[in-house]
Amino acid sequence: MGKVFWEGIDSTVATARELTRIPRTCVMPVLRDHVTGVYNVAPYTAGLISVDPLILAVGVMGQGSQERIKHIDTFTMGMPSIDQTEYIWAAANRMPDGISELEVMGWHLLEREGLHAPGLEECRINLECKILERFKLPEPWRTVMIVRVTAICVNEELIGMEREEILKIIPVLEGGTSIPEGYYGVSTLSGGILSDACKAPKYTGPAPMNGKVLIREEDFGRYPQLRSLAVIPAPTYIVAVNDENGKPIAEVIEFGHLQASQPCLHVPFPRDSRVWARIREVGEFNIYMPTLENLKLVERLRAAPGTDPFALGFTKGGKNMFGIEVPAEIEVCTEADLMSYTEIEEIGVVFAVASKVGAVLEETIDAAADLAITHPARVAECINDFFSRLLFHAHDLDMRRVQVRYGKYSAVGFKTAPSWGNHLTVGLMHIGWLGVNAFHDWVLELTWTKILSKWEAEKIIHELDIWNDSKGIEYLRGDYPEGEMERRRERLTKLIRMMVWAHQDPWKWDGVHAYLETFPNPYLYRGHHMGPMHLPNWDITKEYI
């Protein structure tokens, strides 16, 4: 089978991006804003770095969130369930600073004795985390939090449930593709985990309080069935590089996560890895995504890390832009350019972050995923089928002796939710000169499509102007009447909450219109810079023609 090589600028084509965006786990950190005191909740994706101790990496985007985590040592994050995708989506929408996503979602903080930072009441699993390191990537990129899970809080209905059943409910995985429709692709993969360690032993731990059980890190070993809930499944992959003689060496990796936002590859290596030593020298490497069909070859390579994969049975399929051979058996490969790395002393791991700068795709899958030649339903099917054949690893309840099992996920249960943003600019996230704001673009579209009137748009814009991310109009803030900001916070929160759910259920727009009736008349605040208008009192025929 032939290969298609997408390199450099061309690696931004849709097929290269979609197929290399690998499903991953959604977590929702609850971060208190040190200035406003508001608890912010946003969905991120997390990758496992180590199981003992339990260490995760969570990338944090957005200047506000990056600033917030500088002032926090411990926080709790909820792991949403498959039935909560609408709420994940609601929290993913950008809110003005000072407006809490929690209130918009209608969710509540989980606060209880023994939990050192509030979590999410509605999440069945909450992980209390201590930040080990804030790994700031070079500007303009994100900060990656390396966190140690210090407590787990679980809903009692999960206790005693079999592992397989729990994996079907939690965690939600963000899948990579859906029919192109300007939607934020929160998707779920579920079902089909193969594990002979699924049987849950009888639980004999502390009694639930208000329906939840809390265990702290020192007790993780006593309650493996609870600890295992924090060990999130992810696909296995192979990292390859050429050694100093130009021969490929490779290693199987089960940790980290391959996410969507550049630099998108979070790859942890054992500190003494031969492959890592070579990558540190040359800066460029390749990631192969094996599927269930490649299981035996992967097992061979796992037993001999740092060896030539082609000597173990992989077939040469051509050299990529770095001169590294790609295996004929592998449908999707990613070419990576090392950007930054940090050492995690506690576990002897080097955590590397790299950019995706190329993709090598099997010709048939590239064609099947190409919207210019394939119908979108077929494209979604092709890509999701590929994801379902990846080697997802799960861990045995006995974490100390890490035993990897493979699960087969089926593509059932994918679900997408419509996003903020509009049909034109939904995917343009703060790209250079285009300082796109999804909420603003959404309001524009609502107006152009006549869901909102232009006066309603003006009312919303005016309210946001005066709120100004909870700062108020800076030069007038001192002259605001007492209680003004709190009144405006309540009004904006209610408005956004109504708009969020109207976006999911169009019949709810009537409620939004009725609520906007109570907003101040924006006519009075329009300058000549604010676009054309016509007011009923302008009888132009009578006076001016």
Rule CB under 8 A: choose which of 377, 507, 517, 545 binds another protein: 377
Rounded least distance, CB 100 to another protein, Å: 21
Please identify, using beta-carbon distances, which residue of 209 and 424 lies nearer to another protein.
Answer: 424
For residue 27, list its beta bridge partners: 44
Q: Considering the complex, what minimum distance in angstroms separates the CB of residue 89 from another protein?
A: 13
Give CA–CA dist 415/140, Å, rounded.
31
One residue of 1, 303, 311, 373 binding another protein per CB under 8 A: 373
Query: Among the candidate windows 55-63, 84-92, 355-363, 405-413, which touches another protein by CB under 8 A?
Result: 355-363
* Residues contacting residue 147 through CB under 8 Å, at least 6 positions apart: 55, 56, 57, 58, 129, 130, 131, 132
Q: Measuring CA to CA, which residue among 288, 267, 240 is closest to residue 341?
A: 267
Consecutive H or E run containing 213 = strand 212-216
Whether 39 and 30 have beta carbons less than 8 Å apart is answered as yes
- Evaluated on CA atoms 266, 271, 275, 278, the torsion sign reads positive
**Which residues, in sequence order, are CB contacts of 539 under 8 Å at separation 6+?**
none
To another protein, the closest distance from the beta carbon of 376 in angstroms equals 7
Pick one of 374, 415, 451, 513: the residue that binds another protein (CB under 8 A): 374
Query: CA–CA separation, 190 vs 384, rounded Å?
Result: 12
Residue 61: exposure state from Cβ atoms within 10 A (0-12, 13-18, ≥19)? middle
Binding mask 244-273 for another protein (x = CB under 8 A): ------------------xx----------
Nearest approach, Cβ of residue 529 and another protein (Å): 4
Using CB under 8 A, count the residues that bind another protein. 91
Distance of CA 527 to the CA centre of its chain: 41
Our measurement of the distance from residue 90's CA atom to the centroid of its chain's CA atoms, rounded to an integer in Å, reads 13
Within residues 398-427, the interface with another protein by CB under 8 A covers 416, 422-427
- The yes or no reply on residue 484 touching another protein (CB under 8 A) is yes
Of 315-354, binders to another protein (CB under 8 A) are 321, 337, 339
Residue 489 touching another protein (CB under 8 A)? no
Instruction: Report in angstroms how near the CB of residue 264 gets to another protein at its nearest.
Output: 9
Piece of the chain touching another protein by CB under 8 A; list 107-115, 229-237, 366-374, 509-517: 366-374
Tell me the per-residue interface mask from 16 to 55 with another protein, x by CB under 8 A, - otherwise: -xx-------------------------------------
Residues 167-196 that bind another protein (CB under 8 A): 177-185
Q: Which residue has the tokens 């990496």?
A: 57
Mention every residue, 6+ apart, whose C-beta is less than 8 A from residue 399.
Answer: 51, 52, 224, 227, 228, 231
Orientation angle between helical segments 484-504 and 509-516, nearest 10 degrees = 160
Separation of alpha carbons 252 and 237, rounded Å: 6
The DSSP letter of residue 307 is B
Q: How far is CA 255 from the centre of its chain?
A: 16
Binding segment for another protein (CB under 8 A), chosen from 61-69, 250-258, 392-400, 478-486, is: 478-486
Binding region for another protein (CB under 8 A) out of 234-242, 248-256, 453-461, 507-515: 453-461
The tokens describing 363, both together, are 């010709």
Of 74-82, 197-205, 251-259, 374-382: span binding another protein (CB under 8 A): 374-382
Query: Is residue 74 near another protein by the rule CB under 8 A?
Result: no
Closer residue to another protein in complex, CB, 66/374: 374
Per rule CB under 8 A, is residue 450 in the interface with another protein? no
Gap between the Cα atoms of 56 and 45, Å rounded: 10
Nearer to another protein, 318 or 531 (CB): 531
Q: Site for another protein (CB under 8 A): which residue of 457, 500, 502, 516?
A: 457
- Residue 363 as a binder of another protein (CB under 8 A): the answer is no
Binding mask 94-133 for another protein (x = CB under 8 A): ----------------------------------------
Helix (H, G, I), strand (E, B) or coil at 18: helix
